[in-house]
Structure 1
Amino acid sequence: MKDFKIYITIASLLLIGYVVAQYNKPSPVNWQSTLYRNDKIPFGTYILYHQLNQLYPGARVINTNKSVYNVFHNDSLQQGNYIIIAKSIKLNKFDFGEMLKYIKAGNSVFMSAFEWQGYIADSLKIVTRAEYAKRNVSLNFINHQLKAPVNYVFNRDIANQYFSELDTARATVIGKNYAEHCTFLSYKFGRGNLYLCTTPAVFTNYSLLTKQGADYAAKALSYLPNAKYIYWDQFQNGDIPEDISPLRVFFSNRALQWSYYISLVGMVVFIIYEMKRRQRIIPVIEPLQNSTLNFVTVVGQVYYEKRNNANIAHKKVIYLLAHLRDHYRLKTSNLDQEFVDKLSQKTGIDSKFAASLINVISFISVQQRVTDMELIQLNKLIEKFYSQTGYNGK
């Protein structure tokens, strides 16, 4: 018993050491493009979100986690700038209509995404594609006051999206790439403006940590006027609020997460094992009694009380003829001498007995009333036939 405790102690210490080592192990770089405001991974937007007060001094940053229609349809939305940075933006007719009301009232909306879907894409006639270049893609502005002497170069294919189709009668091009493809558009609606950018990755942490990335993002967002309110959309990109669950610490670390799962599995196994050991006694269930004999007795009693000998005789004849058809492939439509000869040959019974059996069957089949002696005689002949042919009723 003492040795067993030593083994348990050593195993526990090793397990604790492994968990501590896994917890303090540096996490590999996550290159997933999330564009979430609280993600500090390369393609999160943590830096941009927390620098909005530097870009728009004195502005109040408000997060919105509702659909575009519900946000712009709400009368509590103040005058300001609305920013959407997402992997994909899909607006229906009602979303776009409410957003245009907000823009026409003198506000600005900035949207950056890899693709646009739904009514907004159809209404503005925009289609996006990717630039498959062998070298890094570069961007720049059209405005001479913002245009850099040398194009902004971005690697890791973060700026290869562009507008392959657009309505030049409505859109104003304010940014292009090295191939003269449009990457940044503006639309005038009433007293406000709508800005569309095809390169959301240039606003991520990976890009903003470089000098030219930060400069490009600052100039792009400078098109938005100074305002008291800056609205950051979380709905289009699925950037749900931070998890406030007590278990968030476990699920944020892979080692602790597996420890949690192992503990749950161990608890379930323990519960099942205890249930099996302490299972209550199973009561003895008596098997069902064979009531076939009682059933036959009841049926026989019913037939005996009704005294319908003709019905019983006809049924016996029907069952016998069915037996001859099924087992010996005999045609029972004509019970003549030829049938008697075939019956004797196939069943092996005596020809005289076969003739006697068929004669009784032919006689009984046409009778409306059958006496007790006639029924008994028929039954004896049929039972004798079954006995000679070895049929046991199965």
Structure 2
Amino acid sequence: MKDFKLYIGIASALMLVYVIAQYNKPNPVNWSTTLYYNDKIPFGTFVLYDRLYDFFPDADVTRTNQSAYSVFSDTTMMPGNYLIIANNLELSKDDYAEMVKYISKGNSVFISVFDWGGMVTDTLKLNQSAEFGKKAVGVNFTNPKLKRAENYTFDKHITDQYFKKFDTTRATVIGQNSLGHANFISYTFGKGKLFLFANPQVFTNYSLLKPASADYAQKALSYLPAGVDNVYWDQYQNHDIPTDESPMRVFFQHAALQWAYYLALASMLLFVVYEIKRRQRIIPVVEPLKNSTLEFVTVVGKVYYEQRDNANIAAKKILYFSEHLRTVFNLKAGVYNQEFITPLANKTGIDLLFAGELVRHINYLLPQKHVTDRELIVLNQLIEKFYIQSGSHGK
């Protein structure tokens, strides 16, 4: 038995150690590329978004969650820099037209995505590729003021993407990799510029936490005007817009359906309340116990009345009266004679003459076999009078 308890103790201790180890085990690193502004995982953009004020110290940072057409066609849209850092880009003809109008007014748009699509690729004749199988593809700037003696290198194939094809007559190459392929180009529209960058992971948390990589990202964003009053961060292209996945979202998006839902809910509630009230088990009514004494007396009286045996009734009344004298006044009323009158009057406190009348009437009725109604009534009256004078009624 002791060995069994020892085994149980050792097993429990090992189980406790295992549970503690599992609880304190670090979570595995999430390497998915979300580019979400609020993600602190390696390939999120929390650091960049949080430090935008370092790049643009005088600007107000605003997140947008509408299509490019809706944003750029809004008359309240202020001048500034517009940033799109996403996994893919899909601009319609109207989106592209409104974006170009915004740029032409002297504003700047910076786009860095993996998958380029829509009117940008069609209009600007853009085609992207990657340096497959190459190791540590370096990148640098073409501007001598920004170019470093040694190329900037990134691990995990962050800078593999480049622009394989683009409209060289309109585009200006401002950055390229170590193989001479352009990864950073710009277009001029009116008074403003459009910047296209092929490596969005350069701006992720993983890259910005390294000094050399952060320096490269800062120089890339330095092409945007620093003295602007507004910086816009696009959430729409990266699908960072919080969406309601509830099945009820359709009802709450339309006022008519919303009111219909509320009415249906209220009706159901009223129905449930009504059904509960109607179908609840009826509490049985418990009738109080009836006092059947009066009924019993009535029945007994009717029996005696129908039999018309007055002598028997008189005998029972005299017997009950005698028992009353014995229990209440301690008088033995075996014989109702002349000698019994004085003790009866003295012990009960009744009038002596009345005592004599009561005793004589009882003494008269005892031997009778036939008693008239009148004689029975007189007996009852005398006994009731006795109870009143002696004050022993009900005792």
Q: TM-score range, shorter-chain basis?
A: 0.5 to 0.7
The verdict on how the C-alpha distance between 1:17 and 1:240 changes in structure 2, with shifts beyond 3 A counting, is farther
Can you give the 5+ residue segments of structure 1 that lack an aligned partner in the other structure? 1-14, 246-394
Q: Report SS of the residue matched to 2:231.
A: strand
Matched to 1:70, the amino acid is S
Tell me the distance in 2 between the aligned counterparts of 1:244 and 1:215. Answer: 40
Q: Does 1:165 align with 2:168?
A: no
Write the mapping of 1:194-213 to structure 2, written as runs, cut at 5 A: 194-213=194-213
Q: CA deviation at 1:183?
A: 0.2
Q: CA deviation at 1:27?
A: 1.3
Matched to 1:194, the amino acid is L
The verdict on how the C-alpha distance between 1:212 and 1:133 changes in structure 2, with shifts beyond 3 A counting, is farther
Matched to 1:93, the amino acid is K
Of 93-102 and 20-29, the range deviating more from structure 2: 20-29
The verdict on how the C-alpha distance between 1:25 and 1:186 changes in structure 2, with shifts beyond 3 A counting, is same
* Residues matched between the structures, number: 231
The verdict on how the C-alpha distance between 1:182 and 1:19 changes in structure 2, with shifts beyond 3 A counting, is same
Q: Does 1:233 align with 2:242?
A: no
Partner of 2:46: 46
Partner of 2:35: 35
Q: Report SS of the residue matched to 1:86.
A: strand
Q: CA deviation at 1:24?
A: 5.2
Matched to 2:81, the amino acid is N
Tell me the distance in 1 between the aligned counterparts of 2:205 and 2:53. Answer: 17
Partner of 1:64: 64
Partner of 1:86: 86
Q: CA deviation at 1:115?
A: 2.2
Contact 1:64–1:235 (CA<8 Å) still a contact in 2?
yes
Partner of 2:224: 224
Q: Report SS of the residue matched to 1:153.
A: coil
Tell me the distance in 2 between the aligned counterparts of 1:179 and 1:79. Answer: 37
The verdict on how the C-alpha distance between 1:23 and 1:83 changes in structure 2, with shifts beyond 3 A counting, is farther
Deviations 1:320-378 (A, max 9, x none): xxxxxxxxxxxxxxxxxxxxxxxxxxxxxxxxxxxxxxxxxxxxxxxxxxxxxxxxxxx
Partner of 2:129: 129
Matched to 1:121, the amino acid is T
Q: CA deviation at 1:26?
A: 2.2
Q: Report SS of the residue matched to 2:96.
A: helix
Matched to 1:89, the amino acid is L
Partner of 2:192: 192
Deviations 1:205-244 (A, max 9, x none): 1111111110000000000002110000001011124999
Q: Does 1:109 align with 2:78?
A: no
Q: CA deviation at 1:184?
A: 0.2
Tell me the distance in 1 between the aligned counterparts of 2:24 and 2:141. Answer: 45
Q: Report SS of the residue matched to 1:154.
A: coil
The verdict on how the C-alpha distance between 1:135 and 1:73 changes in structure 2, with shifts beyond 3 A counting, is same
Q: CA deviation at 1:188?
A: 0.4
Q: Report SS of the residue matched to 1:136.
A: coil
Q: Report SS of the residue matched to 2:70.
A: helix
Q: CA deviation at 1:164?
A: 0.5
Matched to 1:193, the amino acid is K
Tell me the distance in 1 between the aligned counterparts of 2:49 and 2:203. Answer: 10
Write the mapping of 1:332-343 to structure 2, written as runs, cut at 5 A: none
Q: What TM-score do you get using the length of structure 2 for normalisation?
A: 0.56
Partner of 2:139: 139
Q: What TM-score do you get using the length of structure 1 for normalisation?
A: 0.56
The verdict on how the C-alpha distance between 1:107 and 1:26 changes in structure 2, with shifts beyond 3 A counting, is same
| Root-mean-square deviation over aligned CA pairs | 2.4
Write the mapping of 1:194-343 to structure 2, written as runs, cut at 5 A: 194-226=194-226, 227-241=228-242
Q: CA deviation at 1:133?
A: 3.6
Matched to 2:207, the amino acid is S
Partner of 2:342: none
Contact 1:115–1:198 (CA<8 Å) still a contact in 2?
no
